[in-house]
Amino acid sequence: MVRENEPGKVTVPMLQVLDVLLSEPTRGDWFALQICRTTKLGSGTVVQILFRLERWGWLESRWEELNAHEAGRPRRKFYRLTATGARKANRLVERKFPRSLRFRPA
């Protein structure tokens, strides 16, 4: 995946996704459906945002370690924030939502 260091387009849904990811910055098994559940965003929107963040280098992905035929379901793709991504995302969210209530996991 070719990476671009500078974000080209930052939207409110993207900030929501980043906010959720920053709630557990070391977690490495975020997947699209779970982010949809947390942010209440549509799957199409979340998928586009994840794709864009990965292209910028803020996220890195890996496939779930699973034998799909034995499990009866395909592998999921897990995302985690990179160190650079976490730093930049934190700065961006702080700037855009200075006084907003940040997402906190239950």
Site residues (vs other proteins, CB under 8 A): 2, 31-33, 36-37, 42-45, 47-48, 51-52, 55, 64, 68-69, 71-77
Measured CA to CA, the distance from residue 67 to residue 59 in angstroms comes to 24
- The answer to whether 45 touches 51, Cβ cutoff 8 Å, is no
The least distance separating other proteins from the CB of residue 50, rounded to whole angstroms, comes to: 9
The least distance separating other proteins from the CB of residue 80, rounded to whole angstroms, comes to: 15
The least distance separating other proteins from the CB of residue 41, rounded to whole angstroms, comes to: 9
Measured CA to CA, the distance from residue 8 to residue 81 in angstroms comes to 18
Nearest to other proteins of 34, 90 (CB atom): 34
Question: How many other C-beta atoms can be found within 10 angstroms of the C-beta atom of residue 15?
Answer: 18
60: β partners: 80
Nearest to other proteins of 49, 81 (CB atom): 49
Nearest to other proteins of 3, 91 (CB atom): 3
Nearest to other proteins of 32, 86 (CB atom): 32
Measured CA to CA, the distance from residue 60 to residue 54 in angstroms comes to 6
